[in-house]
Chain A
Amino acid sequence: GAGVSQSPRYKVAKRGQDVALRCDPISGHVSLFWYQQALGQGPEFLTYFQNEAQLDKSGLPSDRFFAERPEGSVSTLKIQRTQQEDSAVYLCASSFLGPYNEQFFGPGTRLTVL
Chain B
Amino acid sequence: GENVEQHPSTLSVQEGDSAVIKCTYSDSASNYFPWYKQELGKRPQLIIDIRSNVGEKKDQRIAVTLNKTAKHFSLHITETQPEDSAVYFCAALANAGGTSYGKLTFGQGTILTVHP
Contact = CB atoms under 8 A, between A and B. Distances in A.
Interface of A: 4, 31, 33, 40-45, 48, 50, 55-56, 91, 95, 97-103, 105-108
B102 A99 contact: yes
Contacts, number: 68
A91 B104 CA distance: 13
Interface of B: 4, 6, 32, 34, 36, 42-46, 49, 51, 89, 91, 93, 95, 99-109
A105 B44 contact: yes
Q: Which 8 A-B pairs rank lowest in CB-CB distance, beginning with the nearest?
A: A42-B106, A99-B102, A105-B43, A99-B95, A105-B44, A42-B89, A107-B43, A102-B46
Given A42-B6, A45-B104, A108-B43, 10 more contacts: A42-B107, A43-B89, A45-B103, A48-B103, A56-B101, A56-B103, A91-B43, A99-B32, A99-B99, A100-B51
Contact of B109 (A31, A42, A95, A106): A42
Q: Is the interface of A mostly helix, strand, loop or mixed?
A: loop
A103 B44 CA distance: 10
Given A99-B95, A105-B45, A31 B106 contact: no
A99 B93 contact: yes
B41 to A, nearest CB: 8
Given A43-B44, A103-B46, A107-B42, A98 B100 contact: yes
Nearest to A55: B101
Contacts of A31: 101-102
Contacts of A43: 44, 89, 104, 106
Contacts of A91: 43-44
Indicate the member of B34, B43, B108 with the most A CB atoms within 10 Å. B43
A95 B102 contact: yes
A31 B101 CA distance: 7
